[in-house]
């Protein structure tokens, strides 16, 4: 490994923005459905983890990757389980990265660790947005999910966040075995009233190897019914639109102006750098090349069309990470310009903004989109300035995977 400071093109052009994600892999306990990389407890590793994350972020900053950071997202896991160490992490990241004056700075939290004093300390450091894992305001549903909080604790957490002055989002899960329509409607009603300006709504999926998977296989918990989940997603869309929080992405709803800027980076092909074990990064080919040359990583292939982006995950375990926070990434995925255009089109169709005709063309996806339009899953709309956009329809939201896959696998007929 060479000294990155020595190879840093300090005199180069203005840096392209890179969003920063920090993965905090600790939770109070593991939820029954969770396959995220996180560890129950792990108290002895928390302080070393923060030291390692700050060291890692500081290292990448030498490559000028953190000179123009529009959004910082500290997720997990349960970052607020770190307590005062989380305040130290936020402060250290702000000292390391050059955050824009209007940067969005989000911290994920869960009800059991949402403490008023900690939230106030984080807001004082500059945190301006929280994302709270409520999942449901029904104790029976929370028990099925294996959450370690109850509905009353979730309500208390929303009050703390509402009083903090920062914006906040809540996550909800639908299609949970045993969850009734009445329970879901009541959860939506509370979600609307609790002061959140943003909601993420996901159907429950049974991930292989989780306790929920084992329970479904053993027959002690019924498998989630996708039709129930679809009905609940539709109910959410209607209730949230009526409450002034329209959908802006397949699973995301917000009051206008309160959309998640960090998540929009993911859905619009922006660059992001992941810090922490199992955090994913995506950089432009040029940004990646700078790091790869300094670190001795695999360099982008010389290809036609040329490489446009590199995506990688550093899959060290937590123990390895605290010892060696700069370990090499696993296999790097290099995307050429065509693949990048297809990916952007696919992700763009996850948003209500959709994609322009030019984006569809660049992705070689026009034929696929015409086919999807015949099935009623997408449509063309024209804006006031005459710009045509492909957008996902109501039916398309319900069959989203069919839409995204058709665009991702589209073949450009002009390609040899």
CB of 40 to ligand SF4, least distance (A): 7
**What does the alpha-carbon distance between residue 381 and residue 30 come to, in Å, rounded to a whole number?**
44
Q: How far is the CB of 388 from ligand SF4 (least distance, A)?
A: 40
> 45 vs 357, which CB is nearer to ligand SF4?
45
Q: Is the peptide bond before 277 cis (omega within 30 degrees of 0)?
A: no
By beta-carbon proximity to ligand SF4, the closer residue of 76 and 269 is: 76
212 C-beta neighbours (distance < 10 Å), count: 25
- Residue 3, class by beta-carbon neighbours within 10 Å (0-12 exposed, 13-18 middle, 19+ buried)? exposed
Rounded Cα distance, 189 and 183, in Å = 10
Closer residue to ligand SF4 (CB): 38 or 271: 38
What's the full length of the chain, in residues? 416
We find the least distance from the C-beta atom of residue 77 to ligand SF4, in angstroms, to be 5
Q: How far is the CB of 27 from ligand SF4 (least distance, A)?
A: 3
Question: Where do contacts with ligand SF4 occur on this chain (CB under 6 A)?
Answer: 27, 30-31, 34, 36, 38, 76-78, 110, 133
- Of residues 318 and 369, the one with the C-beta less far from ligand SF4: 318
340 torsion bin: left (phi>0), alpha (psi -120 to 50), beta (else): alpha
The DSSP secondary-structure symbol of 43 reads H
Distance CA 260, CA 48 (A): 30
Whether omega for the bond prior to residue 60 falls within 30 degrees of 0, making it cis, is no
Tokens of 322: 């605290």
Other residues' Cβ atoms within 10 Å of the Cβ of residue 254: 22
Q: What is the DSSP letter of 149?
A: S
End-to-end Cα spacing for the chain: 40
* Contacts for 366 with CB less than 8 Å, ≥ 6 apart: 360
Closer residue to ligand SF4 (CB): 70 or 76: 76
Q: How far is the CB of 212 from ligand SF4 (least distance, A)?
A: 11
**Smallest gap, in angstroms, from Cβ of residue 142 to ligand SF4?**
11
Measured from the CB atom, is 36 or 408 closer to ligand SF4? 36
- Smallest gap from Cβ 266 to ligand SF4, in A, equals 18
Q: How far is the CB of 252 from ligand SF4 (least distance, A)?
A: 17
CB of 34 to ligand SF4, least distance (A): 3
316: CB partners within 8 A, 6+ apart: 277, 278, 324, 327
Smaller CB separation from ligand SF4, 177 or 396: 177
Query: Which tokens is 5 given?
Result: 């400071």
- How far apart are CB 11 and ligand SF4 at their closest, in Å? 42
Q: To 5 degrees, how large is the angle CA 33–CA 236–CA 406? A: 75
Closest CA to 301 of 325, 339, 334, 273: 334
CB-wise, 96 or 179, nearer to ligand SF4? 179
List of residues 6+ apart from 407 with CB closer than 8 A: 342, 345, 346, 349, 363, 365, 368, 369, 372
CA atoms within 13 A on the CB side of 262: 25
Task: Please state the closest distance from residue 330 (CB atom) to ligand SF4, in A.
Answer: 21
Contact present, 168 and 122 (Cβ < 8 Å) = no
Based on CB atoms, which residue is closest to ligand SF4, 132 or 360?
132
Give whichever of 118 and 365 is closer to ligand SF4, judged by the CB atom.
118
For ligand SF4, the closer of residues 30 and 379 by Cβ is 30
Three-class SS state of 109: strand
């Amino acid at each position: 490994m060479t000294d990155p400071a020595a190879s840093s093109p300090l005199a180069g052009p203005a840096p392209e923005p890179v969003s920063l994600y920090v993965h905090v892999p600790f939770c109070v306990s593991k939820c029954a459905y969770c396959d995220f990389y996180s560890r129950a407890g792990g108290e002895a590793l928390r302080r070393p983890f923060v030291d390692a994350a700050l060291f890692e972020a500081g290292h990448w900053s030498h490559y000028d990757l953190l000179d123009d950071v529009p959004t910082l997202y500290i997720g997990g896991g349960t970052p607020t389980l770190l307590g005062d160490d989380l305040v130290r992490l936020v402060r250290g990241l702000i000292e390391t990265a050059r955050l824009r004056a209007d940067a969005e700075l989000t911290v994920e939290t869960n009800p059991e660790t949402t403490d008023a004093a900690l939230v106030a300390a984080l807001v004082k450091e500059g945190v301006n947005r929280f994302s709270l894992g409520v999942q449901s305001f029904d104790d029976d549903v929370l028990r099925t999910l294996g959450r370690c909080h109850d509905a009353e604790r979730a309500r208390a957490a929303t009050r703390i966040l509402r009083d903090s002055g920062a914006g906040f989002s809540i996550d909800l899960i639908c299609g949970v075995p045993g969850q009734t329509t009445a329970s879901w409607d009541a959860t939506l009603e509370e979600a609307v009233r609790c002061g959140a300006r943003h909601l993420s709504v996901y159907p429950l999926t049974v991930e292989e190897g989780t306790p929920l998977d084992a329970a479904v296989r053993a027959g002690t918990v019924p498998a989630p019914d996708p039709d129930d989940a679809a009905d609940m997603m539709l109910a959410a869309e209607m209730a949230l639109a009526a409450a002034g929080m329209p959908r802006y992405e397949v699973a995301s709803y917000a009051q206008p102006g309160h959309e998640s800027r960090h998540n929009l980076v993911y859905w619009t092909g922006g660059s992001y750098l992941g810090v922490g074990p199992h955090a994913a990064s995506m950089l432009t080919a040029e940004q990646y090349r700078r790091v790869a040359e300094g670190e001795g990583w695999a360099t982008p292939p010389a290809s036609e069309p040329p490489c446009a982006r590199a995506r990688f995950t550093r899959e060290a375990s937590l123990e390895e990470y605290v010892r060696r926070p700069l370990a090499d990434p696993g296999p790097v995925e290099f995307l050429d310009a065509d693949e990048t255009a297809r990916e952007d089109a696919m992700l763009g169709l996850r948003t209500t903004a959709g994609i322009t005709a030019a984006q569809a063309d660049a992705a070689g996806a026009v034929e696929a989109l015409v086919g999807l339009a015949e099935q009623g899953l997408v449509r063309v709309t024209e804006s006031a300035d005459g710009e045509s956009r492909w957008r996902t329809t109501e039916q398309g939201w319900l069959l989203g995977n069919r839409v995204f896959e058709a665009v991702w696998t589209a073949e450009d007929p002009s390609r040899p």
